[in-house]
Amino acid sequence: MSPARLLYSAVVYAAVPYALWRLARRGGSWRQLFGWAPPSLTNAPVVWLHAVSVGEATAAAGLIDELKKTGCNLTLTHTTAAGGDWLRRHHGDSATICALPLDLPGATTRFIRRIRPQLAIIMEAEYWPNLLTAAQHSGARLLLANARLGHTNARRYTFPLIKQLMYEMVARFDTIAAQTCADARRLIFFGGRCVHTLGNLKFDRTIDAKQTQVGKNWKQQQSCGKSILLIAGTRAGEEKLLLDAMTDDFLANYYIIWAPRHPPRGDEIAALLRTRKLSLGRRTTGDEPDATQQIYLADTLGEMDTWYACCDVALIGGSFLPFGGQNPIEAMAAGVAAIVGPHTDNYTILVRQAVRQEALHQVATPAAAVQQAQRLLTNNVIRQRSAQMSQALCARHRGALQKHITLALDLLNPYPIPKFDDEKYSTNKKHDA
C-alpha cells in the first residue's frame, strides 16, 4: 500500500464513528456499510454499476436497461438514500441494489468477493482508492463512464499526496469514457489510459411522457394567467439570496415552482418562505400547483420532468454559490429557456457552448438572474428562440449512450476495445488543467 493510500485509509478509519452516527440518524444497513453485500448466486456474468445519487442513476438508466438484455447479474450501488430509492423504484425487480461500503480495505475487499464482478462501471466522478484497488485485484474490468473532471477539482488534485492517489485511481480503469475533450485531457494528465471522449449520457436520457403530460395539464389548468418560473436544484444558502433579489411586484406577477436539490430540506425552505409571508403549497402535503398561491414547493424526488413541462422559464440553482453548478441538460432537453449563475465548474464546456449558441443564459448574480427571468417571461420571442436553440443543441449531442453500450459489452466480452470518433465538444486549451 502506497503512503498516500495508507494515510487516506487512516483518515477513513477515523471517520467510522461519524459514519455510524449518520447511519443511526438516517437509517440503513450497517452490514452493507462494511461490505456485506448480497452475494451473487448464479454463474451468469456479474456487472456492478455504481451511481452515487439520482443524477448519476438517471444518466445510467439507458445503459442499465441494455445490460439487462444480456442476461447478466446486475448489482447497482448508491451512496445517497435518494439514489437508492430511485434505483429500487426503477430497477428493483431486475437487479440487486445496495449501498456502497465505506472505503476501507477490509470492507471493500469483502464487498468485491461477495458480488464477484466481471465488469465494474463507475459513473462520472467517483474515485475510491481502496474500492478500485480491490476491484482491479479481483480481475474485474473497470470502466469509468460519463466521466468528468472539472478544472477546479483538477487543480485541487495537484497537491502531492492527492496527486499520487489520483494517479493510482485513474490508472486502474481499463477504459474511461469522458464527457468532453477537456475532461479527457485532465484524466490523461492523471494517468488515464484508453480514454475516449464520447459525450454526455444525460443528452440521451428519455423524458418521462407521463410526467410531461401531467405538467402540461397543470399548466393549462392554472386559472390566474400567470407565467410560471421554475427554480430548480437550489442548495443551502441560495434560496435566501434569490428571495432577497425578488421584489414584491415580481412575486405578485409570476407563479414560482421551487424544486430544491435535496427535498429533505423542504421544511427548512418552507419555514424561510413563511417568514417572508408568502402563500405556499407543498407537494409533500398533497397540494397541487395553484396559481392563486405565490410559491409551490416541489419537495419530492423524481418529478423534474413534470416541473419542466409545467414552467415557462427555469432558473438552475447550485450555481449561485460555489457548488460547481447543476446539470442544465434536463431543462434544455425539455425545451425550456434556462438561466444559470456564475459557478458552473462541473459543466464549463457545455455552459460556454450553450451560452454562445443562445441556448442558455448565464448571469453573474442572483439579482441579475431574477431580472433575466423577468425579461424572458415577458418576451415570448426571446424565450421561444432560446427554447428552440436548447432542443437543437441537445439533439446534436445525442449518441453517447450507444457508444457507452458498445464499450461496456466489449469489456464484458473478450473483444478488442472499439474505436470511436471522439470529438464531441469544441474546447479551448487555455481552460484545461
Q: Are 186 and 163 in contact (CB under 8 A)?
A: no
Which pLDDT score, from 0 to 100, does residue 418 have? Answer: 55
Which pLDDT score, from 0 to 100, does residue 427 have? Answer: 41
Q: Are 222 and 228 in contact (CB under 8 A)?
A: yes
At 9, list the grid cell: 485509509
Q: Are 376 and 383 in contact (CB under 8 A)?
A: yes
Interatomic CA distance for residues 357 and 373, integer angstroms: 18
CATH for 211-396 is 3.40.50.2000
Which residues have C-beta within 8 Å of that of residue 342, sequence separation ≥ 6?
319, 320, 362, 363, 364, 365
At 305, list the grid cell: 420532468
Given 3-state DSSP classes, what are the helix, strand and coil percentages for the chain, each rounded to the nearest 5? 50, 15, 35
Sign of the CA dihedral 263, 266, 268, 272? positive
Which pLDDT score, from 0 to 100, does residue 25 have? Answer: 75
For the beta carbon of residue 409, count every other beta carbon within 10 angstroms. Answer: 17
Active-site option among 56, 124, 126, 238 = 56
The conformation of residue 56, written as its DSSP 8-state character, comes to H
Which pLDDT score, from 0 to 100, does residue 211 have? Answer: 93
With cell 477537456, the residue in question is 182
Interatomic CA distance for residues 325 and 24, integer angstroms: 31
**What pTM was computed for the model?**
0.86
Which pLDDT score, from 0 to 100, does residue 414 have? Answer: 61
Strand (E) or helix (H) holding 50: strand 46-50
**Does 3-199+400-431 match 211-396 in CATH topology?**
yes
Which pLDDT score, from 0 to 100, does residue 430 have? Answer: 40
Q: CA 91 from chain center: how many Å? A: 18
In tens digits, what is the pLDDT along the chain, a chain of 433 residues? 888 889 999 999 999 998 888 887 777 777 888 989 888 777 889 999 999 988 899 999 999 999 999 889 999 999 988 889 999 999 989 999 999 999 999 999 999 999 999 999 999 988 999 999 999 999 999 999 999 998 888 888 888 888 999 999 999 999 999 999 999 999 999 999 899 999 999 999 888 899 999 999 988 877 567 899 999 999 999 999 999 999 999 999 999 999 999 888 999 999 999 999 999 999 999 888 887 889 999 999 889 999 999 999 999 999 999 998 888 999 999 999 999 999 998 888 899 999 999 999 999 999 999 999 999 999 999 999 999 999 999 999 999 999 999 999 999 886 555 565 665 444 444 434 4
Residue 330: closest CA among 348, 357, 311: 311
Task: Specify whether domain 3-199+400-431 bears CATH 3.40.50.11720.
Answer: yes
Enumerate the H helices of 335-365 as residue ranges: 348-356
Which pLDDT score, from 0 to 100, does residue 421 have? Answer: 60
- Main-chain dihedrals φ then ψ at residue 189, nearest 5 degrees: -60, -35
Region for 191 from its dihedrals, namely left if φ exceeds 0, alpha if ψ lies in -120 to 50, beta otherwise? left
Interatomic CA distance for residues 408 and 401, integer angstroms: 10
Interatomic CA distance for residues 166 and 191, integer angstroms: 8
Region for 226 from its dihedrals, namely left if φ exceeds 0, alpha if ψ lies in -120 to 50, beta otherwise? beta
Which pLDDT score, from 0 to 100, does residue 433 have? Answer: 40
Active-site annotation holds for 56? yes
Domain boundaries, the chain: 3-199+400-431, 211-396
Which pLDDT score, from 0 to 100, does residue 224 have? Answer: 64
Strand (E) or helix (H) holding 314: strand 313-316
Residue 258, strand partner residues:
231, 297
